[in-house]
Amino acid sequence: TESGVYAVYGGMPEGEQIIGNVEKLIGIVRDLQEGGSGPGEIVRELEICIEGEEREGEAQPDIASSDAVAVMTVHASKGLEFPVVVVPDLSELPRPEASTIIIEEGMRLGVRIADPGNDHERRDTPILSVLKAEAREKDEAERKRLFYVALTRARDHLVLCGVMPDDVPESIAACRTRTDWLACCLDLSGDVCATGRVLLPGEDRPLEIGICTAPDAIPAEIRTAAPVLLTIPGDLRPVAEPSLPPEAPREEGRVYSVSEIGRYVRGADEDARIRGLIIHEVFRGRDPAAVLRRYGIDDARLARESARLYEEFLGSPMVQGAESDHREVPFRAEIGGVIFAGFIDRLLQRPDGTWILIDYKTGRVDERDLPAKVREHAPQMAVYRRAAEGILGGPVRACLYFTDIGRFVEVPADDEEVFDALLQVIGGL
């Protein structure tokens, strides 16, 4: 809201829908956050959905409380309620079942084939006739369910529109349209319709349903929205010229890179975080230049460096010859009564059957600092290892891979002590 984007979208033709979609996305992110996912994991989850082309339905705007006429299908109205509901086309006939082939569960296959005994005219096989009859029964039940949904959306007034049958059907089985159902259930004969109403017994008092056979006689008021004229105040004042900042000192002849300016504004910590995200995406097998463009960075040197780091990783003895190689493996595991969720950077199987869990660590690190780094990341690796073992059903070796120096460091499997400390930390959150 601080960005003012709601105000921008609110003035657009589809602004309400756009704002609803933004709020729905925020809700999805909050649900992931409440499930224990951090910013990086949330970004990766959304990227996986984008790569897999998973389509999420648009947000449902709050049309029930809006001052407008909403036109929608009965399916879309489920769960909603309106003061006035109009259900049209109740005399529409159901579509005939014209399928020439139907396949159902239980290896049931019905087709239409040529009949040699009838001049090779195409006719339904017995199985197809049975399947069509079943389909008609299912369609009839679904039409009744949807009709019930439509009738129960109204809070104050319900208007049903259709053409009454010439004769009242004797039974529900003889009905073909929804108006036939109404005529049969309410006994809407010509004499009843001529009275203009039908009375149904109720708990406290009879329920009166009005019947209008001449819609043109219904009084209607046509309303138009007139434009609102704005009055211009008489004490208009000119806007003062904005004061420009003093000219910044610059080196003569130097060409300034936009990426360099961005790195300066972001600062070292933020730049290191973005570089870590870039390296993680490149290690997923993406094109370095394309990844950099997504972050608004045009830096050929960084693209070459990222590609070199990934090639060095793929050429390492640990990765070479792997029989199975999985990237960004999602998990959700319960450990010690606590639910953890996240992504394992890489999970690969060596030719001897050993499974290796790899977690990338970006940033420059000294060889002398590696033991301290292992202790620092031990809780995280313990959770990853336990989750991977739950997925694979066997032991897993966990390794940290420091991308800038190309080093694998195995994390000892003393998880119990680590978990005790980890659960104490969680208890303090």
Distance (Å, whole) CA 222 – CA 243:
54
pLDDT for the residue 110: 84
Distance (Å, whole) CA 3 – CA 26:
15
pLDDT for the residue 257: 46
For residue 2 the two structure tokens come to 């601080």
CATH fold of 324-427, please?
Lambda Exonuclease; Chain A (3.90.320)
Distance (Å, whole) CA 38 – CA 44:
10
- As separate numbers, helices (DSSP H) first and strands (DSSP E) second, the chain gives 11, 12
Where do the domains of the chain lie? 5-61, 72-214, 261-314, 324-427
pLDDT for the residue 396: 92
pTM of the model as a whole: 0.41
Mean pLDDT per 10-residue interval, the chain, length 429 residues: 67 75 82 81 79 62 66 81 89 80 79 82 85 84 89 90 88 89 87 84 82 78 71 70 59 52 51 84 87 82 90 92 88 77 90 93 88 87 88 91 92 69 57
For residue 154 the two structure tokens come to 């109204």
Distance (Å, whole) CA 8 – CA 11:
6
Distance (Å, whole) CA 76 – CA 78:
6
Rg of the chain taking only CA atoms, in angstroms: 34
Burial of 400 (0-12, 13-18, 19+ CB in 10 A): buried
